[in-house]
Amino acid sequence: MATNVTITDIAKELNTTPATVSRALNNHSSISEETRARVWEVAKRLNYRPNSIATSLRSGKSHLIGVIIPSAKINFFGSVVHGIESLASEHGYNVLIYQTNESREHEKKGIQAFLNARVDGILVSMAKETHDYKHFLEARDSGTPIVFFDRANEDLDIASVVIDDYKGAYMATEHLIQQGYKRIAHIAGPQHIRLFNNRLRGYLGALQANNITIDSSLIYTGNISIEAGKTAIEHFLSLPNPPDAVFSVEDFTALGALKALKEHQILIPEQFGVIGFANEEFGEHTTPSLSTLDQQTVLMGEAAFTLLQEQINMKTSTQMKAKKVVLDPIPVYRQSSTRH
Amino acid sequence: MATNVTITDIAKELNTTPATVSRALNNHSSISEETRARVWEVAKRLNYRPNSIATSLRSGKSHLIGVIIPSAKINFFGSVVHGIESLASEHGYNVLIYQTNESREHEKKGIQAFLNARVDGILVSMAKETHDYKHFLEARDSGTPIVFFDRANEDLDIASVVIDDYKGAYMATEHLIQQGYKRIAHIAGPQHIRLFNNRLRGYLGALQANNITIDSSLIYTGNISIEAGKTAIEHFLSLPNPPDAVFSVEDFTALGALKALKEHQILIPEQFGVIGFANEEFGEHTTPSLSTLDQQTVLMGEAAFTLLQEQINMKTSTQMKAKKVVLDPIPVYRQSSTRH
DNA sequence: CTGTTAGCGCATTCAG
DNA sequence: CTGAATGCGCTAACAG
């Protein structure tokens, strides 16, 4: 029952030694075809399962990779994990997950747990709360490769995979321009978070590139929530010269905007264009459906794993500068911004 | 750098033995306060991290639990994993995840990988494809506790946590009756999947309990998809005596129904009531918002872990019948079915 | 209270 | 080609 059979058991059964069994099972070169076959036969018969804990202890490689995310409940991270696990599994790695719930304390605990487990590498999307990076450096210095995804820190010399927020915002804004909207507003997120700042810059960059004067009254900075989107629209509509389109920093805020505009009986996209960012699931099903930018979540997971694997396979001596992979967001233009 | 410090290193530093260090670090009873302090000091200074692989090998407990899900991309499973990981982490377990992508072959590989890793227990939501349960029985017989969640098999004498689909369907149907709808239809899912059958039975049960004659033309059986919902509505509206409400087996199908009804300019909920099942994220944001039943995903994860932990802590001799936990779905009545 | 011995399961020496 | 010996890092039993 609960007794797991070991190579010693097999050896006894065959009046040979564990070493021979080990060699046979690992298809080692110097072993006679006959013993190999006999060993495999017995192994199968006894239902032998290699104890990967023992192998790990001996080899020093756990074939485990640790993934730290804010929450598995958040769609985005679920998708990234999907990408990570698919590739990892294919390459013989098992995946450990740990949720921080946005707490730096938990994040630290996660890193500790992973280091104790001797994971071969760590993938992390930082908690919002985190402004102190000791625990990451500690991991890296202990020789465990780390790769950030989505939420990264540029200054840390740690590899990362992120979305090009500037480019996405630029594309979204330019799309609105091409659709013929004249006064394009932006609902911005908290500016101390870099990615929101990048999106604001992308918006400004697109306006400038198209010789459109920037009107600061058309930039509303708030939280990211449905409520914030509604408030932003109320603000915009109260302006003497209101906008006729908005690039919203994020889909939920865009949804708020959509709702507020509908309450005001403003036709979307005819009178007012709306585009968000993130490609949340609901966007396809709102009325009108919401234009947005897809963040390539699965690809991000795969890229992060690939980067990590490179580091794992690299001789630790071959220390080179941390790679940064920047993924292009994919435009998803739906009804809310498409006039033609 | 990459060299991890061991208790032997600490022992050398202090001219003592690994055993003493081990005892000190584990706050063992018979150890002098002085040595304990000295050991801890050195451990901290050398940045010692216990090697949990070694501990696992020695103790026979990995403090790992394995979770097998169809896909992390699916919201539902992300939420359940959230529940599992939260509790597991709190209880000192690390969580391994493995995706099957609905393939039995992968499911088998996942079980193998987990058994090799000597996980202390396994949580699994079966792949749709799976109709052969050897790999589960093998795991159980090897002494590794298993608990099913959401997708379970009743005949296997393996513990499980599932949603009460019958009850949910019953509640949904009764809700429509109470809202004054007279001819209530049902869009059913493939009947060879038990949970869909249970929902059909719940629908029928509620009608019977309220002395409403069952009209088989009001039951449309199809796939679960937006398209199926639309087709169902087209079918219903072509009837000589069409229904005025529908309980849809699942939210996406309900969404299709919503869309088709809107195309026909039928007012929801005034002329036609709609309720789904699953509480997908988009339902809150459709126009009108979609009534549905919440599946208590996080709670399901927590319950599954709790059940597993019970089994892990149970003396293997105390073999008792597999527990089945049945969770009540929570009604979420929104605009699409609320007339008053 | 501390040191010695031993072994968890495996894979790699080094001898034959 | 196979056997014997050794150690990965840790902890428990058994002395002292």
Instruction: List pLDDT tens digits, range B43-53.
Output: 999 999 999 99
Q: Is the Cβ atom of A58 within 7 Å of strand C at any atom?
A: yes
Q: pLDDT digits over A38-72, tens only?
A: 999 999 999 999 999 999 999 999 999 999 999 99
Quick one: B111 and B176 in the same domain?
no
Give contacts of A96 with chain B, Cβ < 8 Å: 94-97
In a domain, residue B1? The reply is: no
Domain co-membership, A33 together with A70: no
- Whether residue B291 is contained in a domain is answered as yes
In chain A, residues with a C-beta closer than 8 Å to the C-beta of B53 are 53, 56-57, 62, 117-118
Tell whether B291 and B306 lie within a shared domain.
no
Chain A interface disruption, residue of B52, B55, B97, B226, most A CBs within 10 A: B97
Dihedral of CA atoms B102, B106, B110, B115 in degrees, nearest 10, equals 130
Give the range of the structural domain holding residue B304, as residue numbers without chain letter. Answer: 62-163+297-328
Please tell me which of the candidates A2, A281, A316 has its beta carbon nearest to residue B281. A281
A43 and A126 in a single domain? The answer is no
B96 plus B186 within the same structural domain:
no
Q: What is the pLDDT of residue A129?
A: 75
Write out pLDDT tens, residues B150-172. 998 888 889 999 999 999 999 99
A219 and A110 both lie in a single domain: no
Q: Is the CB of A288 under 7 A from strand C?
A: no
In this structure, the answer to whether residues B130 and B246 fall within a common structural domain is no
Contact: A284, B282; criterion CB under 8 Å: yes
Q: Provide the CATH number for the domain around residue A24.
A: 1.10.260.40
The whole-angstrom separation of Cα B136 and Cα A309 is 31
Q: What is the mean pLDDT of chain A?
A: 94
Encode pLDDT of B9-26 as tens digits.
999 989 999 999 999 999
User: Tens digits of per-residue pLDDT, B207-246?
Assistant: 999 999 999 999 999 988 999 999 999 999 999 999 999 9
Same domain, B127 and B153: yes
> Looking at the complex, does the CB of residue A286 fall below 8 Å from at least one CB of chain B?
yes
Global pTM value = 0.92
Whose CA is closest to A179, among A269, A241, A288, A266? A269
Distance from CA of residue A326 to its chain's centroid?
12
Check whether A1 has a pLDDT greater than 50.
no
Q: What is the CATH number of the domain that holds B313?
A: 3.40.50.2300
Q: Residues A25-35: what's their mean pLDDT? A: 87
Q: What integer is the mean pLDDT of A194-207?
A: 96
Size of interface A-B (CB pairs under 8 A): 155
Nearest by CB to residue A118, choosing from B53, B142, B281, is B53
Residues B268 and B171 in one domain: yes
With b for 16 or more beta-carbon neighbours within 10 A and e for fewer, the A61-85 pattern comes to ebbbbbbbbbbbbbbbbbbbbbbbb
Q: B115 and B179 share a domain?
A: no
Decide if pLDDT at B319 tops 70. no
Confidence of residue B2 (pLDDT cuts 50, 70, 90): low
- Residue B317 is predicted with a pLDDT of 52
Paired tokens of A312: 């794992």
Q: Do A98 and B85 touch (CB under 8 A)?
A: yes
Touching B: A residues 302-321, CB under 8 Å:
316
Structure confidence at residue A316 (pLDDT): 60
A261-282 residue pLDDT tens:
999 999 999 999 999 999 999 9
Q: How far is the CA of A11 from the C1' of C16 (A)?
A: 20
Q: Residue B154: its pLDDT value, please?
A: 82
Domain-embedded: residue A335: no
pLDDT tens digits, one per residue of A170-180: 999 999 999 99
pLDDT at B273: 98
* A2 falls within a domain: no
Give me the pLDDT at residue B315, please. 65
pLDDT score at A298? 98
- Could you give the dihedral angle defined by the CA atoms of residues A166, A171, A173 and A177, in that order, rounded to the nearest 10 degrees? 150
Share of chain B above pLDDT 90, in %: 84
* CA A92 to C1' C13, whole Å: 27
Mean pLDDT on A242-270: 96
Any B CB within 8 A of A117 CB? yes
pLDDT tens track for A290-322: 999 999 999 999 999 999 999 999 866 556 788
Chain B residues 12 to 51 with C-beta below 7 Å from nucleic strand D: 18-19, 21-22, 25-26, 28, 50-51
Contacts of B286 in chain A (CB under 8 A): 285-287
Q: What is the pLDDT of residue B1?
A: 45
Place B318 in a pLDDT band, splitting at 50, 70 and 90.
Answer: low
**B96 and B149 part of one domain:** yes
Asked if A31 and A66 sit in the same domain, the reply is no
Q: Which nucleotides of D are covered by protein (CB under 7 A)?
A: 1-5, 7-13
User: Pick the residue with more confidence: B156 or B188?
Assistant: B188
Is the pLDDT assigned to residue B93 strictly greater than 50?
yes
Beta strands B273-275 and B245-248, pairing class: parallel
Total domains, chain B:
3
Shortest alpha-carbon distance between residue B209 and chain A (Å):
35
What integer is the mean pLDDT of B322-326? 92
Nearest to B288 by CA among A51, A129, A305, A262: A262
Query: What's the pLDDT tens digit per position in B265-314?
Result: 999 999 999 999 999 999 999 989 999 999 999 999 999 999 999 999 98
Residue A336 lies in a domain: no
H or E element in which residue A90 lies: helix A75-90
